[in-house]
Homo-oligomer: A and B are copies of this chain.
Amino acid sequence: MNKNRLEAFSDGVLAIVITIMVLELHVPAEPTWPALLHELPTFLSYVLSFVYVGIYWNNHHHMLHLAGRINGGVLWANLHLLFWLSLFPFTTRWINDAGLAQVPVLVYGLNLLLAAIAYYILKLALIRQQGRGGALEEAMGRDWKGKGSPALYIAGMALTFVNPILGIATYAAVAALWLIPDRRVERFLAHA
């Protein structure tokens, strides 16, 4: 089984997830700047979720690029990841509707955490399928971002008990960390 259709299906799901979130944006109650400004927190949570889906698409793209043939376990590990990513429009909407309340911000962090774990499981399934010492294991070996993110999501969730804004700020900081270009995989590919 080749990986092209897996990539195409994942691209489709991620493209839809990233795009339908716009349907959740509230149109301002009045055609005025203050009314638009009032929707700013909603807009920022949209930006955050957009960036996260973009990061996952980007990383998924790189990881699959190094993978070889795939099997049933990889297919389901991939669907498991897509499941948690497909919940972003829902958890984002709850934050917006409830106005940055504690429980929705915790649930958003949980969503990020479960997506990160699902990504890790997919990575293990791909490495196992490729065999030890393959291109994937070598390139992904010292993946400190992947290992550190779950700890930071938990820290963000803990900070939410102090103030939900601190939680969101932590999630945003993790996203910023991922936006810094990661030269590892690309360098590896350049040398391959």
CB distance from A48 to the nearest CB of B (A): 12
Chain A interfacial residues counted at CB < 8 A: 59
Does any Cβ of B come within 8 Å of A50's Cβ? yes
Cα A23 to Cα B17 in complex, Å, equals: 10
CB < 8 Å neighbour of A25 from B31, B57, B90: B90
Q: Which residues of B contact A13 (CB under 8 A)?
A: 15, 18-19
- In order of increasing CB-CB distance, the 6 nearest A-B pairs are A12-B15, A31-B101, A31-B98, A16-B19, A54-B79, A13-B15
Identify the A interface with B (CB < 8 A). Answer: 1, 5, 7-9, 11-20, 22-23, 25, 27-28, 30-33, 36, 47, 50, 54, 57-58, 61-62, 65, 71-73, 75-76, 79, 82-83, 86-87, 89-90, 93-94, 97-98, 101-104, 107, 179, 181-182, 186, 189
